[in-house]
Amino acid sequence: MTALSATLASTAEFRSNALFVLDSIDHWYGSYHALDSLSLTVQPGTIGLLGPNGAGKTTLIRTLLGLLQPNEGSATVLGHSTSSGTAEIRRRVGYMPEDDCFFEGMTGLDAVVYAATLSGLPVAEAMRRSHEVLDYSGLGEARYRLTEGYSTGMKQRVKLAQAIVHGPDLLFLDEPTNGLDPQGRDEMLDLIEGLSSISEPISVVLSSHLLDDVERVCEHVILLASGQLRHYGRVDEMTAGDGGMYDVEVRGSSETLVAELRRAGIDACAESNRLSELTVTLTDAQLATFWEIVSGSTVQVRNFAPVRVTLEKAFMDLLEA
């Protein structure tokens, strides 16, 4: 096999295992360009979908669900075209919308059973699975009450149950913690995290404006702005900060240590009013020198870790760039 053939075969396998593939997607609403030449291949896992208002997040989700057809380009979800394979896509995909979508006069259990039967499950199997996912979502006996009397948290739990009752391979969540109090938000994030550790893990695309939620549960991030892809990569790589910078916590005064490091040509500074904490910038060649100086000093290093930034700062830096 030639090098080119091997590369093409590797690329084909990468795309065939993908959750979804976008090839130069364009979508307009009149004169408004919602998606602009968007190309992307996304692998299984937990993915955060980020972007400012009007970035194209909702349009992208609707396109991947087959609810919208792009003006130009093509897309596949789990190997099926969004233009010709929508039935198979919807069989294997779950969707939890931001807005409520309940019929009056239905209990929580009724709503989940209805969603299960719409996906093609027989009534008996739909009932069995509905109880299972409502147990998972923690709704309890409230499943037998009408949804009109539900709190926001209870509605969100039912919507999650509706989205996973048919056992999807891929789940789209649109603002799943919207309107929840801190405890409810934490519990919902626990449920989302748990989806990756069940016997048949579900890949998740989480669209949220709460960056702390994304940083907690997601492995990768897609960042859109003005319908264009600004970034796709691992969360830990986005928050890694500037290379070579380390947070150091020491036991004892760091003034003498900082002075010695600077004399050795190492950039070091103590945190304002906190002599036990400092920041150093090291090249690979300077690491040995740093530890040599530390070992000969009177201080004890309690913590040594690369400087990290919040996802919010990384998000803003990418948008500004």
The pLDDT confidence band at residue 17, using thresholds 50, 70 and 90, is confident
Cα angle: 311, vertex 313, 316; to 5 degrees: 105
3-state secondary structure (DSSP) of residue 313: helix
Kindly give, in sequence order, each residue whose CB lies less than 8 Å from that of residue 210, ignoring residues fewer than 6 positions away.
Answer: 177
Q: Using an 8 Å Cβ cutoff, are 55 and 35 in contact?
A: no
Q: What is the CA radius of gyration of the chain?
A: 25
Amino acid sitting at position 8: L
Side-chain-side CA neighbours of residue 118 (13 Å): 13
Instruction: State yes or no: pLDDT of 210 exceeds 70.
Output: yes
- 196, with CB counted inside 10 A (0-12, 13-18, 19+), is middle
Q: Which class in CATH covers the domain with range 245-308?
A: alpha beta
Instruction: State yes or no: pLDDT of 10 exceeds 80.
Output: no
The stretch 49-68 carries a mean pLDDT of 92
State the pLDDT at residue 6: 42
Higher pLDDT, 256 or 64: 64
Instruction: State yes or no: pLDDT of 14 exceeds 50.
Output: no
Q: Using an 8 Å Cβ cutoff, are 292 and 321 in contact?
A: no
pLDDT, tens digit (0-9, with 9 covering 90-100), for 168-177: 999 999 999 9
Beta-sheet pairing, 93-96 with 170-174: parallel
Residue 101: name the closest of 156, 48, 179 by CA: 156
> How high is the mean pLDDT of the chain?
88
The domain segmentation of the chain, as residue ranges, is: 14-238, 245-308
> Hey, which residues does 72 pair with through a beta bridge?
26
Distance CA(256)–CA(9), nearest Å, equals 58
Distance CA(317)–CA(314), nearest Å, equals 5
State the pLDDT at residue 252: 75
The pLDDT confidence band at residue 271, using thresholds 50, 70 and 90, is low
State the pLDDT at residue 140: 93
Give the other-Cβ count within 10 Å of 198's Cβ. Answer: 11
Asked if the domains at 14-238 and 245-308 fall in one CATH topology, the answer is no
Torsions phi, psi for 208 (to 5 deg):
-155, 150
Amino acid sitting at position 124: A
pLDDT, tens digit (0-9, with 9 covering 90-100), for 19-57: 999 999 999 999 899 999 999 999 999 999 999 988 999
Torsions phi, psi for 144 (to 5 deg):
-90, 0
Rounded alpha-carbon distances, angstroms, from residue 92 to 139, 169, 204: 24, 6, 12
Structure tokens at 262: 């600077």
Kindly give, in sequence order, each residue whose CB lies less than 8 Å from that of residue 74, ignoring residues fewer than 6 positions away.
Answer: 23, 24, 25, 81, 82, 83
Name the pTM for this structure.
Answer: 0.79
State the pLDDT at residue 300: 86
Task: Write down the CATH superfamily of domain 14-238.
Answer: P-loop containing nucleotide triphosphate hydrolases (3.40.50.300)
Distance CA(254)–CA(298), nearest Å, equals 9
Q: Note the maximum CA span of the chain.
A: 76
Distance CA(298)–CA(262), nearest Å, equals 17
